[in-house]
Amino acid sequence: MHGTFFVALRRFVRDRWGDEVWDGVTASVPGSAGVYSPLRNYPDDEWRRLLQGVCASVKTDEDAMLESLGRFMFPELAQLYRAFINSSWSALDFLEHVEDTIHRAVRMNDPQAAPPRLRVTRDSPRQVTIRYDSPRRLCAIARGLIARVADAYREPLTVREISCMRRGAAECVFQVTTP
């Protein structure tokens, strides 16, 4: 998993619950130094153990934690990939083009990076359907990111989750509309 997510998790936990929680969790995860680089990839199982440790430590549900993390991450990711974001885009335009701009750039810059595959269709001028597929099943992060897209663009978005891999579906499907 890309180091950007490890760095974001660390910042998120420290910001919300303090250094003690992060330090306690990393001390309990074998092999974790607690310090991560956004320029490296790390084992998925290390991410999973860190996430489970944080959730247990702060007594919160994993989906809620991941969605909050997605909200937290968006401003930094938008800044990092701003060169790929067309200033004339609306919130739905941004969502429509994440895969063919940002995820494509991630894969080109780091062939070992494996962001989720998104298949986005523009159903109408006011609606996109996002199909998310990843063995990591981190679709709750996507929900948080979508929520922050709405905030960033100052456009109200309604997100309807049609199906979810975490509940047994083959893929996650989000229908995102604007009034």
pLDDT of residue 80: 81
Q: Encoding tokens for residue 101?
A: 């701009």
Question: For 66-177, which CATH superfamily applies?
Answer: H-NOX domain (3.90.1520.10)
pTM assigned to the model: 0.88
Q: What is the DSSP string of 119-165?
A: EEEEEETTEEEEEEE-TT--HHHHHHHHHHHHHHHT---EEEEEE-G
Q: Write the pLDDT tens digit of every residue in 4-29.
A: 899 999 999 999 999 999 999 999 98
CA distance 169 to 132: 11
> In this predicted model, what pLDDT tens digit does every residue of 40-51 receive, in sequence order?
889 999 999 999
Q: How far apart are CA 122 and CA 35, in angstroms?
A: 40
Confidence at residue 2, expressed as pLDDT on a 0 to 100 scale: 87
Per-domain residue ranges of the chain: 3-60, 66-177
- 34: region left, alpha or beta (phi > 0 left; psi from -120 to 50 alpha): left
98/92 Cα distance (integer angstroms): 10
User: What is the model's pLDDT at position 109?
Assistant: 73
* CB-CB neighbours of 18 under 10 Å: 11
Kindly report the average pLDDT of the chain as a whole number: 91
3-class state of residue 31 by DSSP: coil
The torsion angle over the Cα atoms of residues 160, 8, 137 and 178, rounded to 10 degrees, is 20
Residue 104 confidence (pLDDT) above 80: no
pLDDT digits (tens, 9 = 90+) for 139-162: 999 999 999 999 999 999 999 999
**Which range, of 59-68, 85-94, 114-123, 170-179, averages the lowest pLDDT?**
114-123
